[in-house]
């Protein structure tokens, strides 16, 4: 995947979160929980990637990123859509990776 495409998508996502004014849907997650879901999944993915680089064989469990109560708690800890938006963007390194140190 092209790094520029990924960064552009996240920038648009973060900008939209910053604008706010979302309606609460009749079903499904409101915008704040969608942002919490994306941000939490990025954290979990980064944690697993770091463990792989460290030579471990971790598993990936995203239950905390799909549980409504967990997402609300994550949102509360993150304090607002702006903070969630910043957390939603993965730390991309020069090589288009998740900000992990080079293994070479």
Q: Check residue 54 and report its DSSP letter.
A: T
- The reported pTM is 0.70
Report the pLDDT value the prediction gives residue 94, as an integer from 0 to 100: 41
**Which pLDDT tens digit goes with each residue over 27-82?**
999 988 998 898 899 889 989 999 999 999 999 999 999 999 999 998 888 765 45
Instruction: Give me the residue spans of the domains in the chain.
Output: 3-88
Taken in order 103, 2, 4, 33, the sign of the CA dihedral is: negative
The span from the CA of 12 to the CA of 5, in Å, is: 11
Torsions phi, psi for 99 (to 5 deg): 65, 25
Confidence of residue 13 (pLDDT cuts 50, 70, 90): confident
């Amino acid at each position: 995947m092209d790094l520029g495409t990924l960064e552009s998508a996240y920038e648009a996502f973060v900008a939209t979160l910053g604008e706010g004014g979302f309606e609460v849907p009749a079903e499904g997650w409101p915008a704040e929980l969608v942002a919490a879901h994306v941000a939490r999944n990025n954290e979990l993915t980064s944690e697993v990637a770091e463990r792989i680089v460290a030579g471990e064989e971790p598993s990936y469990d995203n239950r905390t990123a799909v549980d409504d109560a967990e997402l609300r708690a994550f949102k509360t800890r993150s304090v607002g859509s702006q903070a969630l938006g910043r957390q939603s963007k993965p730390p991309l390194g020069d090589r288009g990776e998740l900000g992990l140190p080079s293994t070479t």
